[in-house]
Structures are given as C-alpha cells and as structure tokens.
Amino acid sequence: MIFKLDPQLAADTFLVGDLPLCQMLLMNDARYPWVILVPRRADITEVYQLPMQEQQLLWQESALVAEKLMILTQADKMNLAALGNVVSQLHLHHVARFKTDFAWPKPVWGQGNTEPYTALEKQQVIDSLRELFRGFFVSEQSLNL
Amino acid sequence: MIFKLDPQLAADTFLVGDLPLCQMLLMNDARYPWVILVPRRADITEVYQLPMQEQQLLWQESALVAEKLMILTQADKMNLAALGNVVSQLHLHHVARFKTDFAWPKPVWGQGNTEPYTALEKQQVIDSLRELFRGFFVSEQSLNL
C-alpha cells in the first residue's frame, strides 16, 4: 500500500514540507498556530501500529515541532493530540494555545467556526514555518524511505 | 524539586500503579475507559522538557497502555492527548473510544457531566487494569529513579 493523505486532511490544511517520517501540515484556521504531522505510512490509525523505530522518529519530530512552535509563537501551552474519531488516518495535532485565544481553556475541537487564512496570511505563516524548520525537511528525491 | 501529583488530578483519578517513569491513573468517569500517565518528574509541563531518554520511555509506556487498553476494551479508536490548559502538570490522556459512547465523535473534554464509578465498579476496573499491566509495574522500593 502507498501512503496517500486523507482527502479531508488535505482539504483542511496546507503542506509545509516533509520531515523524515511525517508530512508537516498547517491547519487552515487563523485562530491558532496549528501544525499537524502525518506519518507517510499507509493504513496506520494508532501510534503503536508503527514499528518502534518509527514511533521514536514520530515523537522526535513531534518534540521538534512543539518546541520550535512554542519558541516562535511564545504561546502559553502546547496542546498535543492524536484523536482520529473523524479522520482515522494517524495524524498528530500540535496547537499553540494562548490564555487569550478563542477556545481557552477548552480544547480547540468543535469550538466555533474555523477562520480560514487570507492568501497573504497563509503565505506568511507557511514562509515562517519553512524558515523555522529549515534544514529539517527532506528533499523530494529522498522521500521513499 | 520532588514530584507531587497535582491536587486536581489526584481528586479526579485513582492510582492504578507505577510504571518505570509514570504514575498510571484511572479517570473517575465510568463513561469511558480512560487512563492517564503522569511522569514522576517535578515542574514539567511539556513533553519536550523531559530529557530525550525519558521522552522515549514516556512514549513506550504510552504505547503499552494504548495497545493493551484497546485489546482489553475492543474499542473503536484510541484518543491520545497532552493538553494541560487547566492542569499544567504534564499528563497524557488515553481514552478508549466507542462509536456508541456519550461524546462520539467529539473529543471527551467538556461533554456532559462525569459519571463517577460506584465503589464496586471502581475496584473491578482497577483490578482488571492491574492484571492487564502485571509485570510492568515497579515496586515501591525502586521508585527513586
């Protein structure tokens, strides 16, 4: 089986780049700095289904994203979650939360309506993320792990 | 600094046992099989603040809990989350979800009121969890890692 990003995830996000294991996606909701990691592996719905070595890689990439996103945004708290009740393909949310944000202190899911980025905002956020993770992305040629 | 379980977490849960890094707690909500892992480390609010070796141990313990809980309960999906907007002490939720449960497909937080276990139910669930993880708990004597 070949990895293919779930259509719902593809519709809700923008591709930022590819880490060694995961696709890095930006959630199209301007209310929160929200990055999703999706391991490029087919038919995986739970973390423990990945081989142990890939679980370790997933969490290393997750820690990298969480720490850099906290430093970039100076947020109050990182929210980390793998839920998958609607989209079962394994995906890991990283949401930088502020005590002043829309849903605080509740989790972000199901609170109000998403606020899509404008074209300008979208490009600015993607550019800043690509700058933040420069040197960590793999080139397209080396993606077939 | 010495580790001390957050008072709110202590009030909402029952102690099941101690894995090498984490306290294993049962959430006192009979609507969901819900296990929380808390690393016995003081002043940690984000996963990436742990030394890399302890991050790996945390995720190994998490994968153990997630997989065994899924096998025990035959649930439809595992929900994994480290939020911490209310209780900032790092704690990792593992909620076994069913398509027939109260909040499905929403996340469990903030949906309706908790349903505390009866004394009998509580003892039965704790006993089944202790049986499930027998051999993985550390003895009290070896807890000072």
Per-residue model confidence as pLDDT tens digits over B63-101: 999 999 999 999 999 999 999 999 999 999 999 999 999
Across chain B, what does the average pLDDT equal?
A: 95
Of A48, A63, A77, the CB nearest to B55: A63
In a domain, B102, yes or no: yes
Looking at the domain assignment, is residue A2 inside a domain?
no
Predicted TM-score (pTM) of the model is 0.95
**Comparing A41 with B142, which gets the higher pLDDT?**
A41
- Assigned domain for A37 exists: yes
Backbone angles phi, psi at A96, to 5 degrees: -80, 120
Question: Is the pLDDT reported for residue B18 higher than 80?
Answer: yes
List CB contacts (< 8 A) between A47 and chain B: 59, 62-63, 66, 80
Assign A145 a pLDDT band (cuts: 50, 70, 90): very low
Mean pLDDT of A82-104: 98
Which CATH number covers residue B86?
3.30.428.10
User: CA-CA distance, B51 to B31, in Å (whole number)?
Assistant: 35
In a domain? residue B1: no
At CB < 8 Å, which residues of chain B contact A?
45-48, 55-56, 59, 62-63, 66-67, 70, 77-86, 88, 97, 104-107, 109-110
pLDDT at B25 over 50: yes
Verify whether the Cβ–Cβ distance A55 to B63 is below 8 Å. yes
Give the pLDDT confidence of A26-80 residue by residue, as tens digits.
Answer: 999 999 999 999 999 999 999 999 999 999 999 999 999 999 999 999 999 999 9
- Give the gap in angstroms from C-alpha B103 to the nearest C-alpha of chain A: 10
Q: Is residue B110 part of a domain?
A: yes
Q: What is the band of A1 on the pLDDT scale with cuts at 50, 70, 90?
A: confident
Which of A70, A88, A110 is opposite residue B77, by nearest beta carbon? Answer: A88
Complex ipTM? 0.94
Whether the pLDDT of residue B143 is over 80: the answer is no
Number of structural domains in chain A? 1
Per-residue model confidence (pLDDT) at position B1 = 82
pLDDT at B140 (0 to 100):
56
In a domain, B96, yes or no: yes
Domain that holds residue B73: 7-142
Length of chain A: 145
**What are the strands, taking DSSP E only, across A72-138?**
77-82, 92-97
Work out the average pLDDT over B17-29.
Answer: 98
